[in-house]
Amino acid sequence: MSKSTPATIALDGAGVAYTVVTYEYDSTAEQVGNHAAEAIGEPPERVFKTLMVEVDGRPACVVVPVARNISMKKVAAAFGGKSAQMMKPTNAERATGFRVGGISPFGQKKKVPTAMAQEAQAEPYMVINGGRRGLLVRLTPADAMQASGAFPADLLS
């Protein structure tokens, strides 16, 4: 599997240090993110999922721990909006250029505002999708925020 994706190219361009981690993606897994954490031997609080949302009809991106759920009220508030909802998968794929299960906050086709769960800052490193199903990147939370343009926010329910 090639380790070059729009996400890793964006990380390289940002001068960010990261390590590529691969695993066997299982589309039938009940919780794909938790499956990924288990497959790579990382605690779920260090493995983060990238979710595409719409806040007052505008696209946005949130990065949160795989085992946690987001609060739509908190997501809306984080982006200064009144309401938030999950983006339809086909719209998320079109907006990001990535397939669902491989969406990364790095190197998206269209740059959108991005919020990262504030809990990430307590971790020495985090693992986030690297732009392809079964390909993850391990990097520091500060580097992830810098490379994605994310801001820390209270997003979890």
Domains of the chain: 6-153 (3.90.960.10)
63: exposed, middle or buried (Cβ count in 10 Å: 0-12, 13-18, 19+): buried
Average pLDDT in the 124-150 region? 97
What is the reported pTM? 0.94
**Matching residue, tokens 């909006």:** 81
For residue 33, name the pLDDT band (cuts at 50, 70, 90): confident
Residue 127: the pLDDT is 98
- Taking the C-alpha atoms of residue 134 and residue 99, their distance in angstroms, rounded to an integer, is 12
- Taking the C-alpha atoms of residue 64 and residue 156, their distance in angstroms, rounded to an integer, is 8
Average pLDDT in the 34-40 region? 91
Length of the chain in residues, anyone?
A: 157
- Taking the C-alpha atoms of residue 140 and residue 16, their distance in angstroms, rounded to an integer, is 9
- Taking the C-alpha atoms of residue 50 and residue 102, their distance in angstroms, rounded to an integer, is 9
CA within 13 Å, CB half, 16:
26
